[in-house]
Structure 1
Amino acid sequence: MSALTDGGVGRRIAYYRSVVRPKMTQQQLADAACVALGTIRKIERGERGVTEATLEAIADALGVDPARLRSDRGAAQTRVHAALPALSAAIATYDFPDEGPVRPLRALRLAVAEAARWRVAAQYTRIVRALPDLLIELARAFHHAPAEDRAELAGLLVKAYRSADAVAYKFGARDLSARLIDLMRWAVPEASDPILTASVAYVRTETFFAAHAHTAGLRALEQALDTAPAPVGASAIAARGALHMRAAVIAGRAEDSAAATGHLDDARELADQVSEDVYCGTAFGPDSVRTHEVSVAVSLGAEHVERALDIANKWKPPRDLPAERRSGFYIELARAQLWTGLADDAFESLKVARHIAPQHTREHPWVREDAAKLRRLKRADSETLTHFAEWCAAT
């Protein structure tokens, strides 16, 4: 069926919105799910069916698996995890794609841009549903493109691979993530775009984080900075600034306080020259640098977490900052609060992160670790904390 018409679906949506998430209004759910308010009202009243796409968007906004809304039974494996093999299969023939239709270049541009918007909004189910077919189509277009279109199509491939990688990396499919990064590095020379090359260097750092090879990752980023375009124009400034932000965090993980501080200072200086926006796939500007100040403080460890708390006492990420970045701020803040004995505050921060970007929060390993620790610290059972820990599979 193209739409679920069981009235129980609407009742379950209303339950999760008003009972499990008691502070979420119908308008807030509509905004978070990118669905019209009238549609939410009719679905909850059982006056209209729910398409799979709409149900997944609502589930993302509520922070539950779509299976919980389809029936009263426990959640099955998430749709993202179930779809990862299709993503892997889609890139297996990157250099020898099957024959098939290819949309005009303009339509491919729009599809890639839409996937990028889903990525910064942490809408991973939408990405994993659309990207396998899109990656196959882009590879097909690239290999059959006339010379004048080849560079642009290579750039579109890089951007699409990046959106796919966001899903693979966030959901723990590290081998698939590494493969997608390799494909970005394969395609980017064809694009002949120095800013896009810097963006790939930014993403490649994931492999160093995953391997805990922080010192090597810092060297790789500093090498990328040496070859990055001069900071002339907003995009080039943002590309260089993003590399400095990333370098500051990985320097923190490497316990190199001087390097972390230096890169953060460089990022801040560049951010003052541009407005906050998403440049070449990465959010950059004064607010993004501020969130990274918290991240660096947490990366450097217990002696520096007071800095994270000081920032949070004076500043909160604005609503127009991408959801993934805002939720990351509260996840990092929760860890700082937990380290300083502020268990209740840490749990509140985790709940805020879930409200902003449920999928990003649910799959973040620190969230699972911290939720499990919070359950151990709170010896008296808390229904809300227990539900949160079960939601993110904390053990």
Structure 2
Amino acid sequence: MPDLARDGLGRRIAYYRSVVRPKMTQQRLADVACVSLGTIRKIERGERGVTDATLEAIAGALGVDPGRLRADRGRAQSAVQAALPALSAAIAAYDVPDDGPVRALPELRTAVSEAERWRLAAQYTRIVRDVPGLLAELARAYHRAGGERRCELARLLVSAYRSADSVAFKFGARDLSARLVELMRWAVPEAEDPLLAASVAYVRTETFFAAHAYASGLHALEQALGAAPSPNAPLEIVMRGALHMRAAVIAGRAGDAPAARSHLAHARLLADQVSEGVYYGTAFGPDSVRGHEVSVAVSLGAEYVGQALDLARDWRPPAGRRRNVAVVTTSNSPAHNSGPGLRSMRSSR
């Protein structure tokens, strides 16, 4: 059993439970993690060690990556880096999957939603452990299916690719990240969901950031805005607003102040029409736009530095930052649900 009791692990668990998740009691943590209350108490007091399995269960219950609870962050990072080749292998066979088993569609939906929760909570070790197998299974299901089932599986593939991409991009595997973005673009036409296409255009921008190709990235986003649905309904407003918000940031990086200001103005107008939330895996709303205003002002530099300081001075994290926010996932999209598909989930953004 690794000796994790004397490195402050218990104090970090107590911090996340009582400060980050202020309504979580020790009993609730024990129940969600399937660990005895006595064990939780002893761990938080530093009176006993923790196995990797128990640590992962506790981290999952707290909604954080196990690496955030460890004193030795390098160990968690090394584990993620070591697992990236399995992710590469899973996507290499996206069009020639093996003949393995496939779970029922409701189970696949649940697995993809869980992976999205891990992405929003930055639980990268869970993603690299489980998502490679999920991607292989989704590829098998997709190539065996037809009709509406194939459309939904394409949507699930896009979401799962995005979860995998969050790890690749975070850990510097830029080529792998670019490949995952291209697979999202490959799958999205089959999904027959223009809002999902807009979300993929949003994600694709990271490849332009990584290559410092800011002008090209701005051009790609403006093309996506031209193809996006008119903002006549809440989700259409959100996705168009998110694209404007992203375009403002990359315009700032490109030093194009007029374009940055124009896109921010559009994003601000759209954000005022919706509540802060996570839609199609992307955070958007008044608070998100305000944060991006600071980022754009910093990127533009020179005479905009004072503006950035003023924005940062006047802005305060909203009280709702730690409460639940509305989330719309790809499996809740209007393409196959009559309602808006809102559910509640803690956002890490």
Instruction: Name the TM-score class by shorter chain.
Output: 0.7 to 0.9
Residue identity in the other structure for 2:239:
A
Measured after TM superposition, the shift of residue 138 of structure 1 is 0.7
How far apart are 1:31 and its partner, in Å? 6.1
8 Å contact from structure 1 (residues 26, 41) kept in 2: no
Alignment match, 2:113: 113
**Per the alignment, in what secondary structure is the counterpart of residue 278 of structure 2?**
strand
Letter in 1 for 2:72: R
* 1:3-152 pair list within 5 angstroms: 4=1, 8-14=3-9, 17=12, 24=15, 27-28=18-19, 36=29, 38=37, 40-45=40-45, 46=47, 49-50=50-51, 51=53, 53-54=56-57, 64=68, 66=70, 68=72, 75=75, 77-152=77-152
Distance of 2:231 and 2:198 partners within structure 1: 12
Give the equivalent residue in structure 2 for 1:326: none
Distance 1:322 1:80, change over 3 A: farther
SS state at 1:12 partner: coil
Residue pair 2:165, 2:177 contacting (<8 A) in 1 also: yes
Structure 1: gaps spanning 5 or more residues: 324-355, 361-395
Structure-1 separation of matches of 2:287 and 2:158: 26
Cα distance in 1 for partners of 2:106, 2:10 equals 42
**Please, which moves more after superposition, 250-259 or 292-301?**
292-301
Deviation at 1:47, TM superposition (A): 5.5
Identity of aligned residues (%): 61
2-structure distance, mates of 1:114, 1:221: 29
Offset of 1:15 from its aligned partner? 6.9
CA RMSD of aligned residues (A): 3.1
TM-score, normalisation: structure 1 = 0.71
Partner of 1:174: 174
How far apart, CA to CA, are the structure 2 residues paired with 1:288 and 1:235?
Answer: 16
Q: How big is the shift at 1:26?
A: 5.6
Within a 5 Å distance, the mapping from 1:1-395 to structure 2 comes to: 4=1, 8-14=3-9, 17=12, 24=15, 27-28=18-19, 36=29, 38=37, 40-45=40-45, 46=47, 49-50=50-51, 51=53, 53-54=56-57, 64=68, 66=70, 68=72, 75=75, 77-318=77-318, 320-321=320-321
Shift of 1:146: 3.3
Unpaired stretches in structure 2, ≥5 consecutive residues? 31-36, 324-346
SS of aligned partner of 2:283: strand
Count of residue pairs the alignment pairs up:
313
Identify, as 1 or 2, the structure richer in helix: 1
Distance 2:230 2:205 in 1: 21
Asked whether the equivalents of residues 7 and 71 of structure 2 are also in contact (C-alpha less than 8 Å), the reply is no
TM-score normalised by L of structure 2: 0.80
